[in-house]
Chains A and B, each alone.
Chain A
Amino acid sequence: MVEQTVNIVSNERATDLYFRLVVRAPQIAPLVQPGQFAHVRILPLRDALLRRPFSIFQVEGDTFAILYKSVGKGTEVLSRMRPGEELNAIGPLGHGFTVPQPGGETPLLVAGGYGMAAMHLLAQRSPQTGIVFVGGRRRVDILCEEEFRALGWEVRATTEDGSHGEKGLVTQPLIAELKRTTAGRKLFACGPTPMLKAVGRLAEEFNVPAELSMDEHMCCGVGVCLTCVIPVKAGDAWEYQRTCTEGPVFDSREVVWEVTR
């Protein structure tokens, strides 16, 4: 974990919805593990004080890249920043995905929309290629298929409106694939909570291991404020654990989806 000023190398529209930001971060970039994030202070934000967490998409030399959608005040201001301008970042943060061992399990990645960004580094660093299942509402929600194909991965896309790939939910082709075989396979997922919950249920049903990158609103990003907690099994009961520190990636068997207080 390092805090440093980072310089914007490029900040361009990657698709109709998403921007790709590349920053020079010589202290952070070499430390990044798949599934980790950077906590970014967008200095021109003024009265919006908090940092914004972004999954790290790619790492190259002393730079890292993130993909983001302009959804609120923070990302809107970020989208108007230009190369040469400065941001401040703390990173890499969080407990990421377990990179498969050489000759180990075959990774099946499951991504919902923007979740693709968090999984690219895992695909790149995995010694064996696998299949990535990506789903979204419409064609524009499907990101960086080509980047995964370029790594030799098979990409199976689904959209809810059928405008791209198979029509339906991302879990449909995944179920078909798990029915074919589960031996030596492991699931890795990142996306909206209902999708993660569905993947967790399938992991249990088909008895395959799964790692889920959980999505919870964050504040400090380093484990002090206790904003981003989710219920996690602890013996016979459950306890709150921090998405920013113990997570964002959790073993699906650890996550508690419904709690009684």
Chain B
Amino acid sequence: MKSEIRNPMSEAANDARATDLSVQIGSLRMQNPVTVASGTFGYGVEYAELLDLNQLGAVVVKGIRLTPVRGNPTPRTVEVASGLINAIGLQGPGVDGFIQKYWPFLKGLKVPTIINIWGTTVEEYAEVARRFDGLGGVGALELNVSCPNIKEGGAQFGTDARLLSQVVAACRKATRLPLITKMSPNVVSIAPYAKAAEDAGSDALAVTNSYPAMAIDIETRRPKLANVTGGLTGPCIKPIAIKLVWEAAKAVKIPIIGMGGIQNAADALEFIMAGATAVAVGTANFYEPQTALHVIEGIRDFMQRKDIRDVREIVGSVQLPK
């Protein structure tokens, strides 16, 4: 009766094969739906000693504009209850600096790199998109139209539907790479903005960026950030972000990458059930660098426990009251 002896090892292997975590973001295929939020993962290389980057769905790098950016004065971040407010100011090496310093490492990875780009004019966004289109090997571009911490560019494009359309359309003309538009949460209703990005040619949406916020030192009566205000992230924003993903998912047909305070697989699954095709781990990278890997493992465990073969079956599966 040898054939009836169950081998737990091969059973596990069978299950792993049977569980399909792969997702599609435009023409970009990811081996699993878990990536990282721009600005919380540097340029990937910084975390290479602490986790196997090749297990991620994709690596998303910090926002790049055409020229180097010095960023804001310090203090740049402040810890608050279950969250973090930051006002880094998109410090970065510019397109050339990025290509020289970080691209050789990133292009050697087995998983795709998504490059977050920004500019202060529509033309600059398009120029940066064109530069990365010509680079070869880039997985996708994420258009940052929602950073609250810079005077020009960033959120001004994400909170004006006409400008948002122009940025997305200009980048669409500049590249065939998949475009992911990173939406601002700072709008009355996300639906018209989501629709504007979709109509202008965006392949996906990233929902959402940080929420405008402020903290004050009561002893000195001074703001805790040199920039006075910043963007709030971390677990404290998760329920608000889930609602935004749910609303955006109802408004568009393109896939959504959900993010905002994800710490574990349960958090990620909430986003997926709300309508996200993929998710990104953000602030948690700062305190638990292996979070994204635990999230992948946890999603797989959940699927096996619920006998779900394809992660796409969970997308948008929230059951609403009749």
Footprint of B on A, CB under 8 Å? 1-3, 41, 47-51, 88, 90, 216-217, 219-220, 222-230, 239-240, 245, 261
Q: How many residues of B contact A (CB 8 A)?
A: 34
A123 and B75 CA atoms in complex are apart in Å by: 32
Taking a contact as CB atoms closer than 8 A, the residue among B46, B79, B83, B284 that contacts A224 in the complex is: B46
Q: Please tell me if the beta carbons of A220 and B74 are within 8 angstroms of each other in the complex.
A: no
With contacts A47-B81, A240-B71 taken as known, whether A226 is within 8 angstroms of B286 at the C-beta atoms is no
Q: Which partner residue on chain A sits nearest B49 by CB separation? A: A1
Would you give the 0/1 interface string for B3-45, flagging 1 where the beta carbon is closer than 8 Å to chain A?
A: 0000000000000000000000000000000000001111000
Lowest 5 CB-CB distances: which A-B pairs, in order?
Answer: A224-B42, A220-B286, A227-B77, A223-B46, A47-B82
Q: Please tell me if the beta carbons of A49 and B235 are within 8 angstroms of each other in the complex.
A: yes
Tell yes or no: B285 within 8 A of A by CB: yes
Q: Please tell me if the beta carbons of B86 and A225 are within 8 angstroms of each other in the complex.
A: yes
Q: Which partner residue on chain A sits nearest B68 by CB separation? A: A239
With a cutoff of 8 Å between Cβ atoms, the chain B residues found around residue A245 in the complex are 46
A223 and B84 CA atoms in complex are apart in Å by: 17
A220 and B84 CA atoms in complex are apart in Å by: 11
Question: In the assembled complex, how far is the CB of residue B247 from the closest CB belonging to chain A, in whole angstroms?
Answer: 27
Tell yes or no: B277 within 8 A of A by CB: no
A220 and B41 CA atoms in complex are apart in Å by: 10
Q: Which partner residue on chain B sits nearest A222 by CB separation? A: B46
With a cutoff of 8 Å between Cβ atoms, the chain A residues found around residue B71 in the complex are 226, 229, 240
Query: Which residues of B from 49 to 89 have beta carbons under 8 Å from A?
Result: 49-50, 62, 70-71, 73-77, 79, 81-84, 86, 88
Q: Please tell me if the beta carbons of B285 and A220 are within 8 angstroms of each other in the complex.
A: yes
Q: Please tell me if the beta carbons of B50 and A222 are within 8 angstroms of each other in the complex.
A: yes
Question: In the assembled complex, how far is the CB of residue A196 from the closest CB belonging to chain B, in whole angstroms?
Answer: 15
Q: Please tell me if the beta carbons of A3 and B88 are within 8 angstroms of each other in the complex.
A: no
Q: Which partner residue on chain B sits nearest A41 by CB separation? A: B287
Q: Please tell me if the beta carbons of B42 and A223 are within 8 angstroms of each other in the complex.
A: yes
Q: Please tell me if the beta carbons of B290 and A225 are within 8 angstroms of each other in the complex.
A: no
Q: Please tell me if the beta carbons of A240 and B77 are within 8 angstroms of each other in the complex.
A: no
User: What are 27 A-to-B residue pairs whose CB atoms are below 8 Å?
Assistant: A1-B49, A2-B50, A3-B290, A47-B81, A49-B79, A49-B82, A49-B83, A49-B234, A49-B284, A50-B84, A90-B50, A90-B289, A216-B74, A217-B74, A217-B77, A219-B84, A219-B86, A220-B285, A220-B286, A224-B46, A224-B285, A226-B76, A226-B91, A229-B71, A229-B76, A240-B71, A245-B46
With a cutoff of 8 Å between Cβ atoms, the chain A residues found around residue B302 in the complex are none
With a cutoff of 8 Å between Cβ atoms, the chain A residues found around residue B288 in the complex are 41, 88
With a cutoff of 8 Å between Cβ atoms, the chain B residues found around residue A226 in the complex are 71, 76, 88, 91
A261 and B74 CA atoms in complex are apart in Å by: 13
Q: Please tell me if the beta carbons of B88 and A225 are within 8 angstroms of each other in the complex.
A: yes
With a cutoff of 8 Å between Cβ atoms, the chain A residues found around residue B50 in the complex are 1-3, 90, 222
With a cutoff of 8 Å between Cβ atoms, the chain A residues found around residue B75 in the complex are 217, 227
A48 and B234 CA atoms in complex are apart in Å by: 11
